[in-house]
Chain A
Amino acid sequence: MLELKRVCFGVRNEKGSKEILKDVDLTLEDRQFIVITGPNGGGKSTLAKLIMGIERPVSGQILFNGEDITDWDITRRAQAGISFAFQQPVRFKGITVKDLIRLASGDKALSTNGACRYLSAVGLCAADYVNREVDASLSGGELKRIEIATIIARQTTKLAVFDEPEAGIDLWSFHKLTHVFEKMHEEQRTILIISHQERILNIADEIVLIADGRIQKRGTRDAILPELLEVTGSCNFFKEDEA
């Protein structure tokens, strides 16, 4: 359903150019559940942004359901069914949680109750949040959960990309969040999650390891997990959470 072909991405600044992703080939089948992991700065978020259209590849091709979407803008990709939960969601003054959920759902008339359902799904006490502005007053974890709620609200999603959904979310709540992803998966969606959390690696069909701008490994959890520790060189990196 999604295919990246020899995708390269880099940036140019005063100090010259920097390659961030090199010759990335990645294929996702319909209804697969893939987790991308790897060390900080490896290029994971960049890859997600390329899929969403926030960044454009320097070279290479991106296909979605057989169509070449390399030149499509963000809006068109979103309308085609790609959804993206940001690693760091943007805060807005004067826009409420309900506004954002409504926008994401594509249903201008979505009721407050409707919006609340999505908030409850991520463990937020909906009534406390639905009319709040998504401004600086929300905590980091609250903002991330709202972000996930907006993706759940996008009923037209075919491919959902989550960038480190666990970041800032307490372990107890996170345990419940894994059910959200499993449920989306059961609803016939293709899921791509960028994560450092073993709990998420455990529920994936396959794990992709990205480091130094390249795909280093891809395989099932059992095949990849032992090697992960070698690549990262840190035994604590994937410590199992205690929740």
Chain B
Amino acid sequence: MAKKKTFIEDIERTLYDIKNEDRPVYKTKQGLTDEIIRDISAKKHDPDWMLAFRLHSLDVYNHTPLPVWGPDLSELDMDRIVTYVKPDAKMAGRWEDVPADIKDTFDRLGIPEAEKTSLAGVGAQYDSEVVYHSIQESLTRQGVIYTDMETALVEHEDLVREYFMKLVPPKDHKFAALHGAVWSGGSFVYVPAGVQVKIPLQSYFRLNSPGAGQFEHTLIIVEKGASLHFIEGCSAPKYNVTNLHAGCVELYVKEGARLRYSTIENWSRNMMNLNTKRALVEKDGLIEWVSGSFGSHVSMLYPCSILHGENARCEFTGVTFAGHGQHLDTGATVVHAAPHTSANINTRTISKDGGIAVYRSAVKVAPGADHAKCSVNCESLMLDDRSRSDTLPVMDIQGDEADIGHEARIGRISDEAVYYLTTRGISEDEARAMIVRGFVEPIAKALPLEYAVEMNNLINIELEGAMG
């Protein structure tokens, strides 16, 4: 394809799509059976309780129907998904010790570079296992733990056992149960009371193996009065078989603590992304979400904040962009479970070339959660009349004196707006890109600069429709 000049930078769109040879040291058989689960558990040296947990989850999975709403999931055939792929790499603490092709992949994604300049710790997962981990010593000295889940299970078994899948239990929905059965990899972060982690930590998840699933588990505990900014990134090259991502993120924000959790999920067009994220926020705590959904064939993702203690707060900022052949069903959920809790949801969804982008917001105010305050602002933009964008708000208000505001707008780029900008000498594509950038500007403003740039790049890639 000829390179097109864009009003901002030219985009390196091949970046995310480079495939490495699939050469795992071990791979389970396709499908989901008791035997496969036992096999994964043995390979991972699980403690007995974890094996029992996996088997229980499998049982729940087998007895839970698919969701009856949202995108069509009939394409997903679990008998053809490989749930565990152990890469040919041991977890390293130095990039030199990571196999060259895998290191190259993360190099291209800019991870080691970001580690040097703007991160206090990095985890890099490749297929089912974490291949690199680091954390600044000053943080370890303050008692901060940042490691992969497997190590956490050995070194901090009690903590893991206390929190693991307590917020998102396997019976939550079918893919939570699946996650409980086959989870592998992910991040464990523990910030002790009063510790302020000033520089962000980042985990990056790369799925390279065709027809595989990635089921990383993220467990973050920010103790009383502590604070953390945690960033997750994910991507995969495109294959012509279905890949599955069913991660699970559990965030515990204790009294007066603050956690900013940012993810830009950038999957390929063969990916089913069925991800579950939830935060439990105690008194005076704050959870800030930044959530970008790009690239996958299907997504179902609705980060949930349970405002459990008085004055707990939630800020949610989200962008979803669906192009040709994509059905991205995303949103945010807030449960006001205590008095004087407040939430702010601000989202933008974009659809193009027949893509479907749906934004669901659900706000629940529990009985007794009086004086809850919630403001929802969802805007959708369709770039042509084949595409669909929708915002579906649900409200369930049972507490007294709730102050709930909801604003939803759905619009289409008008020809007039495009013509107007082209009279200044730019192409119609550039004009559309400029309008879309204006549309997501309130979101870009909320992102740290390098992520705003990444989001802009992803938007440009989607606008050019070249990831296809």
Contact = CB atoms under 8 A, between A and B. Distances in A.
B424 interface: yes
B417 A75 contact: no
A75 B441 contact: no
Interface in A154-202: 154, 156
Interface in A58-97: 73-75, 78-79, 83-84, 86, 89-90, 92-95
Given A78-B422, A103-B421, A92 B428 contact: no
B426 A103 contact: yes
Residue among A74, A84, A99, A156 with the highest chain B CB neighbour number at 10 A: A74
B26 interface: no
Given A74-B419, A90-B420, A95 B434 contact: yes
A114 B417 CA distance: 25
Contact of A103 (B427, B434, B440, B441): B434
B427 A75 contact: yes
A103 B417 contact: no
Residue among B417, B426, B438, B442 with the highest chain A CB neighbour number at 10 A: B438
A104 interface: yes
B420 A89 contact: yes
Given A54-B419, A90-B420, A92-B417, A78 B438 contact: no
A79 B423 CA distance: 9
A50 interface: no
A93 B437 CA distance: 9
Interface in B368-424: 414, 416-417, 419-424
A93 B423 contact: no
Contacts of B420: 86, 89-90
Contact of A74 (B422, B435, B441, B442): B422
Given A54-B419, A74-B419, A86-B420, A93 B438 contact: yes
Interface string A29-70: 000000000000000000000001010000000000000000
A84 B423 contact: yes
Nearest to B440: A94
B423 A54 contact: yes
A118 to B, nearest CB: 13
B453 to A, nearest CB: 16
**B contact patch SS:** helix
Interface in B1-59: 7
B163 interface: no
A78 B425 contact: yes
A108 B424 CA distance: 13
A92 B435 contact: yes
Interface in A86-143: 86, 89-90, 92-95, 99-100, 103-104, 106, 108, 133
B423 A74 contact: yes
A75 B438 contact: no
A92 B438 contact: yes
Given A52-B423, A54-B419, A83-B423, A75 B428 contact: yes
A73 B442 CA distance: 32
A154 B423 CA distance: 11
B419 A154 contact: no
Contacts of A90: 414, 416-417, 420
A101 to B, nearest CB: 10
B437 A94 contact: yes
A75 B422 contact: yes
Contacts of A83: 423
Nearest to A147: B420
Contacts of B440: 94
Contacts of B441: 93-95
Nearest to B429: A75
B439 interface: yes
A94 B422 CA distance: 18
A103 to B, nearest CB: 5
A154 B434 CA distance: 18
A92 B427 CA distance: 17
Contacts of A133: 438
A73 B430 CA distance: 14
Contacts of B438: 92-95, 99, 133
B416 A150 contact: no
Residue among B414, B419, B442 with the highest chain A CB neighbour number at 10 A: B419
Contact of A75 (B414, B426, B442): B426
A133 B7 CA distance: 19
A154 to B, nearest CB: 7
Contacts of B439: 93-94
Contacts of B419: 54, 74
B31 to A, nearest CB: 47
Given A73-B428, A104-B425, 17 more contacts: A54-B419, A74-B422, A75-B426, A75-B428, A78-B423, A78-B424, A92-B417, A92-B438, A93-B439, A94-B437, A94-B442, A99-B434, A100-B424, A103-B7, A103-B426, A154-B425, A156-B425
9 contacts: A54-B419, A74-B419, A74-B422, A79-B425, A90-B416, A90-B417, A92-B417, A100-B424, A103-B7
Interface of B: 7, 414, 416-417, 419-428, 434-435, 437-442
Q: Which 8 A-B pairs have the closest CB atoms?
A: A94-B438, A94-B441, A78-B425, A95-B438, A74-B422, A90-B420, A104-B424, A103-B424
